[in-house]
Each structure stands twice: as C-alpha cells, then as structure tokens.
A and B are shown apart, each in its own frame.
Chain A
C-alpha cells in the first residue's frame, strides 16, 4: 500500500506532531487549518522541533533522528486553509478540537472532497469513533488513532475500531502506521477506549488520596515510580497533560457511563477553578515555577 499524499487536519499540538512525523518518514503532507496565523505558527513549531531533534540526536544515523535536512523535511509539508488539495489524498488524519460541533462539519467536508478509497483516522483521546463514522458516507473507512505526545518520538498508537470499521480499513491503518515507523494496538470503540479510561480513573483516585490527606503528591508519585517502575507517577502525568483536560475527560466518562465511579474529585475541580492547571500554568499537584 502506498500513502503518497496524506492530509492532516488541525494544526494544534497533535496535528503538528503528526505532520512532522509523516514528513520525517518521507510522506507528502497537506496540513489544513482554519487560519493562516495558526499555520504560520505550526510551520515555526515544526521547524523548531526538527532543529531540536537534530541537536539532541547523538548521531544523524540514529533511528530517532529525522531523515534529511530541516528544510528538506519542512518542504514536504504544504500549509493551507483549503480542503481542495485533499482530492488526491490517500489517507487523512484528523486532529481538530474534541467537540462534536467542530468535528462534524470537518468530516462532512472531507467526505465530499477526498477520493472514495481514502481512509479517515480520527486522532482523539476520547471521542466516539462510531459517531464520527456516522457523519460520513463511509463509516467502514473511519477509524480511531490515539497518537501519544510528542508524536515523532512515540512509536505506539492506540487504534480504535468503530462499530462499522472494516477489517480492510484496520489493515490499511496498520500499513499506514508502519510507514511512519509506528506500531499499534487495536481496541474496540468505548468511551475513553482503554488507555484513558484506566489513566483518568487512576489520576482521579490519586487526587482523592491528596484530597483526603492520605498522602502527598510527592509520595504518591514516588510509590508508582519506585514500586511499580512507572516512568512518571499519576499526578505528575496529570500535570503534564493539564488538569483541565483531565477533568474534562473524567466528566466525559461520567456522562457516558452514568456510573458514579467516574465522579470527578472535588479537589481536581477546585484546582481547575483556581487556575492550577499543571505544567502549563506553573502550578498543579507539583510546582513548576522557576
């Protein structure tokens, strides 16, 4: 299978990472977003990321090092606000905001422009794939791809099979990811899939432990690192993701299952209200102020 032209929709953190990862693995990429300002920032971000990757790679032959020069890789990406270029796309990865009112019109537009053979992959950590498939006339060719951040460095992807996703589409998705130097684990569509359903509950329960004065964030994270060999504890992971995103994800699980085991910890809500969002605000369960 050949994926010569790949569409990437949405130039936020994840879209930028996916576009960079594709360009590094010799794909021609069409990166689409709604404004030239966002696209200019995306281009600057990708250039910086490529330069940093080059700087930190011990030798240019190292497997994580990007293939080719910075400008050569960057030249493989077309930055545009126009969907028309996607008429020849072999594969599309959608990374727009995790809201139905934003995603739905994107899928309608893609469905109208892209060739019939083209598979749409939704890069999402929580959105129901079956529902996205229903927004198109090709629900058998819609699949979920939960990429991890930073995309160029993370080689494993959680792939989600929607209700109507065909076996052929799953094989196409596997081949596509292999072409990016990545592997995948396929799971069925359910709120939070596997990774976030377990992770969010773990973070929420860890927040309860702080809330109830059972332990401190430092000690909770140390227990996970030193007893279980995790690279990061649940609360430092939450700080990295952003506590607002964590709270939003738990609320989605709570609404989806109507099960009180997903009730968000009051401390988590209060921290978000207080603007303590983790690393990005300088303060979360841990402090990041210089």
Chain B
C-alpha cells in the first residue's frame, strides 16, 4: 500500500529504532506529544494534496497508521 508506506516513512523519523504497528496508538507511546498532531495534519495535507476539513480534525483520525490510512483513502476518493 503506497499510502501506508508514505505514512510509515514519515513516522520513522520520530520513532527511531521502534517498529510501530499499524494499529498502535502513536500518542500513547511517549515518542511524541499531542502537539505532534498538527505536524501529522500538515504532512497528510501536503503529501497527499488533500484538505482536512474541520469535521475530520479529530484526534482519533490520526491515532494509528490504520486510522490515518483510512482517512486519506476516504479523502482521495472524494477529491479523485
């Protein structure tokens, strides 16, 4: 999956020497704090050229690789 691969590449910079699982809570592991959520939003918007609307600004959409991937897929379908 191209989308998941791109997410993993981005996160790898912050999760050094840690094999982050697709369903693992990014924010509960202590590598990043909740402010990192905005960096994730900007990464998603810039990398996939999609706009995250107010109603999608929910931390649960950014909590795991799976959640991020499904958000992006959903947005790509809408725009594409």
By a beta-carbon cutoff of 8 Å, the part of chain A in contact with chain B is 48, 51-52, 54-56, 69-71
Say if the beta carbon of B23 comes within 8 Å of chain A. Answer: no
Number of A-B contacts (CB under 8 A): 23
Overall SS of chain A's interface: helix
B58's closest neighbor in chain A, by CB?
A55
Picked from B34, B54, B58, the residue with its CB within 8 Å of the CB of A70 is B54
Instruction: Report if B12 contacts A (CB, 8 A).
Output: no
Which bucket holds chain B's interface residue count?
Answer: 10 to 19
CB distance from B45 to the nearest CB of A (A): 10
Given A69-B54, A70-B54; A56-B59 close (CB under 8 Å):
yes
Taking A52-B37, A55-B37 as given, write out 14 further A-B residue pairs in contact, using a Cβ cutoff of 8 Å, ordered by the A residue number. A48-B38, A51-B38, A51-B57, A52-B35, A52-B38, A54-B54, A55-B38, A55-B58, A55-B62, A56-B34, A56-B37, A69-B54, A70-B54, A70-B57
Chain B, residue nearest A69 (CB) = B54
Q: Does B41 make an interface contact (CB < 8 A)?
A: yes
- Chain B minimum-CB-distance residue to A68: B54
Determine the chain A residues whose CB is within 8 A of the CB of B35 once the complex forms: 52
> Given the complex, which residues of A lie within 8 Å of B37, measured CB to CB?
52, 55-56
Which residues of B are found within 8 Å of A54, using beta-carbon distances? 54, 57
A2 to B23 Cα, complex, angstroms: 51
Residues from chain A with Cβ under 8 Å of B62 in the complex: 55
What residue of chain A has the Cβ atom nearest to residue B60's Cβ?
Answer: A55
With a cutoff of 8 Å between Cβ atoms, the chain A residues found around residue B58 in the complex are: 55
Nearest to A55 among chain B residues (CB) is: B57
Across the interface, which residues of A come within 8 angstroms of B34, CB to CB? 56
A232 to chain B, nearest CB (A): 15
CA distance A70 to B56 in the complex (A): 12
